[in-house]
Amino acid sequence: MEVINFLLGYNDLRIVQDSDMFCFSLDSVLLPQFVTINLKEKKILDIGCGNAPMPLILSTRTKAKITGVEIQKEIFELAKKTIEINNKKDQIEIIHGDIKELYKDWESDCFDVIVCNPPFFKLNKHSRLNISDQRKLARHEITLKLEDIMIVSKKLLKNNGTLAIVHRPERLIDIITLMRENNIEPKKIQFVYPKVGCEANILLIEGRKNGKPGLKILHPLITHNNDGSYSDEIKKYFE
Rg (CA), the chain: 17
Q: What is the pLDDT of residues 28-56, one digit of tens each?
A: 899 999 999 998 899 999 999 999 999 99
Q: What is the pLDDT of residue 120?
A: 55
Q: Is residue 204 pLDDT above 90, yes or no? A: yes
Q: What is the pLDDT of residue 5?
A: 81
The one-letter amino acid code at 34 reads F
Q: 67-81, 151-165, 225-239: lowest mean pLDDT where? A: 225-239
Query: What's the rounded mean pLDDT across residues 4-27?
Result: 78
Full DSSP string of 201-228: -EEEEEEEETPPS--EEPPPEE-B-TTS
Q: What is the mean pLDDT of the chain?
A: 89
Q: What is the pLDDT of residue 144?
A: 87
